[in-house]
Every structure is written in C-alpha cells, then in structure tokens.
C-alpha cells in the first residue's frame, strides 16, 4: 500500500530571511564594498540582515548624490520585480560591515505567489518605503535644511523603534549628510555644532543622537535658516 508523501513543513518567514537556500544566498560585505552598481542587471532583490547600506545615484555629468539609507530588516533592489526590470538605476554600498540575503528575481516571484505571510510582509515594506519617499519629498520642498538634517539624524537613529533615548548612529561623513538634505558641507557643520551646543547630539567622530533633537522637528526650536526670505503676501479676493 502506497502512502502519500508527508506535507511540506509550514513556511517559516524568519528562517527564509535568515538562511541561504534555493534561489537565495548570503552575501557579506565590508564597509565601502558595493552590493550592486548603477547600470548592473536588475536580477535580484536583497534583504539587509545586518549593517547599513547607502543608496546613491550618479548623474550624466559624474556627480554622485546619496538618496537614501537602508536599515536592517529592509529590502533593496526591489525594482528587479518590475515587468521589465532592465538595469539598476542606483548603486548600493555598505556603510558598515553587512550581511545581506540575495534573493533571485524568480525566487522572489515564486514566494510572493505561494506564501501569503511573505507577500503581506513585503507589501507592508513597499507601502512604508513609498510613504517614506513621499515624506522625504515634502521635507525637501517645505522644510529648512536645518530641520532636514535633524530629521535625517533621527531616522538614522531609528527613533520610534527603540526605547533608548541616546543612540549612536553608524559613522557617516558630513559630505554624505549634505548630499542627502540638499545643502553644503559647511552648512551641515554649522548645524551639527549648534545641535551639539544645545545638547541635542554628541559629536566626536561618531554621532550620539539624543531624543531631545525631536524638538527641532516638532517644535521649530530654531528659526528657519531661510527666514530672511521675503514673505509672500496673499492677494485679497476682489
């Protein structure tokens, strides 16, 4: 008498993202090592297990700009899932030593279709990233460079995800911070010194961010660095 084969074990989301397997492997990077480069084939998605990754783009004139940072527990390279993935539009480089799970495009598509837990988790990530991108755009359009710097430091410190009121963020240069908020390195240096004098950060090579920095974002502790702009007067209705 033939016996039916045993059912496959239930899908373990944590195990899937932690271990190598069919269509996925673990990649370990040193600081400043590239995960992928602009112009590479977009054939896989990466899940950051450990470390911090910087996303950059290079213009046709050769100017590089940092557009975002990737934290532990986030995906990068998700454009590989597009109907026509093509080439990478940005580069991903390790800021610190990283451990990354590389998942092939075909395996991502398979698990998205077959495992609802993974699909739900990935969709939540995509929605959160879309909301973050929209918030970044609003921040760039309407906030002063000082508030943009405060927000970036708080995001890097992952406030709201930890109860620790004092967080050390990975080492990052003032040039990179300037690229991310759209200002000059000298302005970043000026604001960092002011934040330090006010007790919002400790800064001596590594940046220690204190929860009190939220005051800059939430309560406009400082005047806008662009406050000398002429105010636009509303035209009264006729």
Number of domains within the chain: 2
Task: Please list, in sequence order, all residues whose beta carbon lies within 8 angstroms of the beta carbon of residue 101, skipping any fewer than 6 positions away.
Answer: 17, 18, 20, 24, 25, 26, 27, 46, 47, 49
Residues 19 and 116 in one domain: yes
Provide the pLDDT for residue 234: 38
The answer, yes or no, to whether residue 24 has pLDDT greater than 90, is yes
Positive or negative, the Cα torsion across 109, 121, 37, 136? positive
Residue 181 lies in a domain: yes
Q: For residue 150, how many other CB atoms are within 10 A of its CB?
A: 26
Residues 112 and 20 in one domain: yes
User: 118-165: per-residue pLDDT in tens?
Assistant: 999 999 999 999 998 898 888 888 888 998 999 889 888 876 555 565
Task: Kindly report the CATH number assigned to the domain that includes residue 192.
Answer: 1.10.10.10
Residue 40's φ and ψ, nearest 5 degrees, are -70, 155
Better pLDDT: 236 or 230? 236
Residue 42 lies in a domain: yes
How far is 96 from 182, CA to CA, in rounded Å? 23
Across the range 176-181, mean pLDDT stands at 87
95 token code pair: 């800021």
Residue 27 lies in a domain: yes
Residue 186 lies in a domain: yes
Provide the pLDDT for residue 223: 43
Provide the pLDDT for residue 231: 37
Residues 148 and 205 in one domain: yes
Task: Please list, in sequence order, all residues whose beta carbon lies within 8 angstroms of the beta carbon of residue 52, skipping any fewer than 6 positions away.
Answer: 69, 70, 71, 72, 94, 95, 96, 98, 170
Residue 41 lies in a domain: yes
Q: Please, which residues bridge with residue 209 across strands?
A: 167, 201
Residues 104 and 47 in one domain: yes
Residues 17 and 117 in one domain: yes
Residues 109 and 54 in one domain: yes
User: 68-114: per-residue pLDDT in tens?
Assistant: 889 899 999 999 998 888 899 999 999 889 999 999 999 999 999 99
Residues 85 and 21 in one domain: yes
Task: Kindly report the CATH number assigned to the domain that includes residue 113.
Answer: 2.60.120.10
Residue-number span of the structural domain to which 91 is assigned: 13-121
The answer, yes or no, to whether residue 227 has pLDDT greater than 80, is no
Residues 78 and 164 in one domain: no
Confidence (pTM): 0.77
Query: Using 50, 70 and 90 to split pLDDT, how confident is the model at 59?
Result: confident
How far is 236 from 29, CA to CA, in rounded Å? 60
Rg (CA), the chain: 21
Residue 83 lies in a domain: yes
């Amino acid at each position: 008498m033939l016996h039916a084969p045993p059912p496959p074990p239930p899908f373990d989301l944590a195990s899937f993202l932690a271990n190598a397997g069919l269509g996925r492997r673990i990649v370990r990077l040193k600081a400043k090592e590239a995960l992928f480069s602009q112009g590479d084939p977009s054939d896989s998605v990466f899940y950051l297990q450990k470390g911090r990754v910087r996303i950059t783009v290079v213009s046709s004139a050769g100017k590089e700009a940092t557009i975002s940072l990737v934290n532990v527990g986030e995906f990068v390279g998700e454009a590989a899932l597009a109907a026509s993935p093509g080439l990478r539009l940005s580069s991903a480089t390790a800021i610190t030593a990283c451990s990354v799970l590389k998942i092939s495009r075909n395996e991502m598509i398979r698990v998205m279709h077959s495992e609802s837990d993974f699909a739900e988790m990935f969709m939540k990530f995509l929605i959160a990233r879309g909301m973050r991108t929209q918030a970044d755009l609003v921040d760039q359009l309407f906030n002063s460079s000082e508030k943009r710097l405060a927000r970036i430091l708080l995001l890097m410190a992952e406030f709201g995800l930890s109860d620790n009121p004092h967080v050390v963020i990975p080492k990052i240069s003032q040039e990179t911070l300037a690229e991310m908020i759209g200002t000059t390195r000298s302005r970043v240096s000026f604001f960092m010194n002011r934040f330090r004098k006010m007790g919002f950060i400790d800064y001596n090579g590594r940046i220690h961010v204190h929860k009190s920095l939220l005051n800059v974002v939430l309560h406009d502790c400082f005047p806008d660095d662009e406050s000398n702009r002429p105010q636009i007067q509303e035209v009264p209705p006729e």
